[in-house]
Amino acid sequence: MSMIEQKVPTLGESITEVTIGQWHKKDGDYVEADELICELESDKASFEVVAEASGILHIVAQEGETVPIGGVICKIDTQAAGSSDKPAGDAKQESAAKESAADAPKPTGQVVEMKVQPLGESINEVVLGSWLKEDGAFVQTDEIIAEIESDKATFELPAEATGILRHVAKAGDTLKVGDLICKIEVMEGAPQSEEKTSAPAQETAGQGNDYAKGHPSPAAKKILDEKGIPYDQVKGTGPGGRITKEDALKAEKKTESKPTAANKAQEEAPAKPAAGSRNERRQRMSSLRKTIARRLVAVKNETAMLTTFNEVNMQPIMDLRKQYKDKFKEKYGVGLGFMSFFTKACCIALQEWPAVNARIDGDEIVYHDYCDISIAVSTDRGLVVPVIRNAEQMTFDEIEKEIIRLATKAREGKLSIEEMQGGTFTITNGGVFGSMLSTPIINAPQSAILGMHNIVERPIAVNGEVKIAPVMYVALSYDHRIIDGRESVSFLYRVKELLEDPARMLIGV
């Protein structure tokens, strides 16, 4: 008996151990070289393990076990590769493969290196979220092969050539602009058509080779885990019933149907923890969430951030909206919200106090004569900040339409990098979640951010009298390295003036 030991490979300098996620083959099964046999999970990503040789599989580490790097996970009896234990269907597959060898793509000798391209002035590094094509897979030009994540958005990586894909970076790796992601060995021609491969595939389907059924691809697994959707509730349309990225995205958008009977509702309802239960759940942070966390800590450590506060009597704006909201929507086809008032007021104040609209670049201060306003949008994947370009030139209806367009694309995960970069000032509205007061963190490399909050009726002094009015606290966090107290306080007070007397924004006083 000739036995090969398969061990946990080195997956990165920071990964010292992995967990056996799932075995796709049973103990004693016959496996082919390079056939997927199991998945390994680390704190960064999931990795697929393929058989190093053909033979009988003997499992050593069971599902859920933690194995150190270099630890044995299984053994393969290679003597069985040429014995009668080999399934008869494999011989048919080999015969079919020989017949189609003449139609196989031919190598050209050219190798295309794919590197991280510049994604914007404020994006210096990205995280390789997941591979959508396995190492050694045949890919076509412009076919999506991987997902790349920054602290602002997720981007799809298309193949730059047709050929065999060779992974260089691993899922979860942090890469800088210019770093090598993968290589493509350029090929002429295309692999054999599905018609030629359908027959052997159908023959082997009844032989227990259905390990992929109900199992998500790495990209689909990431999406389903973030949404908390069980794998068994998603129907896979990929090869062998494998759950694809498209399947996961569709499952994400499904809405639960209302039960028609009370007993059905009880059956479908998740079991509630018993009273006094002390259960705990652990969920791996997404690459986007980890990048956001790292960026926010860097901002706190690298800027002299302070926050100044004021309060705004929202009654004038509320009266104006009540008076004109129907006519506004009838004419422009969009509602008149608070964000257009705040965006317009900030643009006027930014032009009067340009330091708040500036940024630091090395030893220089870069002043912007335009106002690209970043609007914070909360999504299921995290906080994103699409940009309203040249907001100082836009009307109220144009601002409202642009906010709706960008917010919709953000929640659908369809924002482009151009829509995410280049903002000069940020507005965030924690009031939609009920926040009364907060100190927002600066969106680097910008130098200031305005925080809106909940509107609550409070007693205030108006012309020597105490009146009840709808009041909002506003907060301006700013980088004291570039913005002094005079600029920050004056800017925020100017915003307050414009909001409490909206007519000022129309006549420019």
Share of the chain above pLDDT 70, in %: 79
CATH number at residue 149: 2.40.50.100
Whether residue 454 contacts residue 436, with contact meaning beta carbons closer than 8 Å, is answered with yes
Domain annotation covers residue 214: no
Residue-wise pLDDT tens digits, 451-504:
999 999 999 988 889 999 999 999 999 999 999 999 999 999 999 999 999 988
Residues 350 and 329 in one domain: yes
Three-class secondary structure assignment of 362-389: CCEEECCCCCCEEECEEECCEEECCEEC
Query: Residue 44: pLDDT above 60?
Result: no
- Per-residue confidence band for 268, with pLDDT thresholds at 50, 70 and 90: low
β-bridge mates for residue 27, sequence order: none
Q: If DSSP codes are grouped into helix, strand and coil, which group holds residue 478? A: strand
Query: DSSP assignment of 323-347, as one string?
Result: HHHHHHHHHHSS---HHHHHHHHHH
Residues 17 and 118 in one domain: no
b/e 277-308 (16+ beta carbons within 10 angstroms → b): eeeeeeebebbbbbbbeebbeebeeebebebb
Q: Rounded to whole angstroms, how far apart are CA atoms 60 and 238?
A: 29
Domain that holds residue 23: 1-101
For residue 210, count CB atoms less than 10 angstroms from its CB and return exposed for 0-12, middle for 13-18, buried for 19 or more: middle
**Sign of torsion over alpha carbons 455, 391, 439, 405:** positive
Helix (H) or strand (E) holding 125, with range, is: strand 125-131
pLDDT of residue 207: 43
Structure tokens at 7: 């061990």
Domain annotation covers residue 109: yes
Residues 464 and 401 in one domain: yes
Average pLDDT over residues 254-258: 49
Number of structural domains the chain divides into: 3
Query: Residue 301: pLDDT above 50?
Result: yes
Domain annotation covers residue 259: no
Residues 461 and 478 in one domain: yes
Residues 166 and 20 in one domain: no
Residue-wise pLDDT tens digits, 160-215:
989 999 999 988 888 888 899 999 998 887 665 444 444 444 444 444 445 456 77
Q: What is the dihedral of CA 326, 323, 494, 406, to 10 degrees?
A: -10
pLDDT of residue 375: 93
Q: Catalytic residue at 369?
A: no
Residues 323 and 383 in one domain: yes
pTM of the model: 0.53
Structure tokens at 131: 């591979």
Residue among 149, 137, 217 at smallest CA distance from 183:
137
CATH number at residue 486: 3.30.559.10
* Residue 200 preceded by cis peptide, ω within 30: no
Average pLDDT over residues 424-439: 91
Domain annotation covers residue 481: yes
Residues 183 and 325 in one domain: no
Query: Residue 249: pLDDT above 60?
Result: yes
Catalytic, out of 142, 319, 326, 480: 480
Q: Catalytic residue at 167?
A: no
Residue among 394, 398, 374 at smallest CA distance from 386:
374
pLDDT of residue 401: 94
pLDDT of residue 246: 73
More confident of the two residues 101 and 298: 298
Q: If DSSP codes are grouped into helix, strand and coil, which group holds residue 392? A: helix
Length of the chain: 509
β-bridge mates for residue 378, sequence order: 383
Q: Residue 140 carries which side chain, given as an amino acid letter?
A: Q
Residues 137 and 45 in one domain: no
Query: Residue 60: pLDDT above 80?
Result: yes
Residues 365 and 492 in one domain: yes
Residue whose token pair is 């390295």 = 481
Q: How many CB atoms lie within 10 A of CB 411?
A: 15
Highest mean pLDDT among 135-144, 146-155, 229-238 belongs to 135-144
Query: DSSP assignment of 243-290, as one string?
Result: BPHHHHHHHHH--PPPPSSHHHHHHHSPPPPPTT-------PPPHHHH
The last residue of a domain, from among 69, 101, 133: 101
Residues 22 and 141 in one domain: no
Average pLDDT over residues 102-125: 75
Catalytic, out of 85, 319, 484, 501: 484
Q: Rounded to whole angstroms, how far apart are CA atoms 509 and 143?
A: 55
Q: Residue 90 carries which side chain, given as an amino acid letter?
A: D
Residues 407 and 491 in one domain: yes
Candidate from 57-66, 138-147, 176-185, 221-230 with smallest mean pLDDT: 221-230
The last residue of a domain, from among 101, 123, 153: 101
Residues 54 and 155 in one domain: no
pLDDT of residue 209: 45
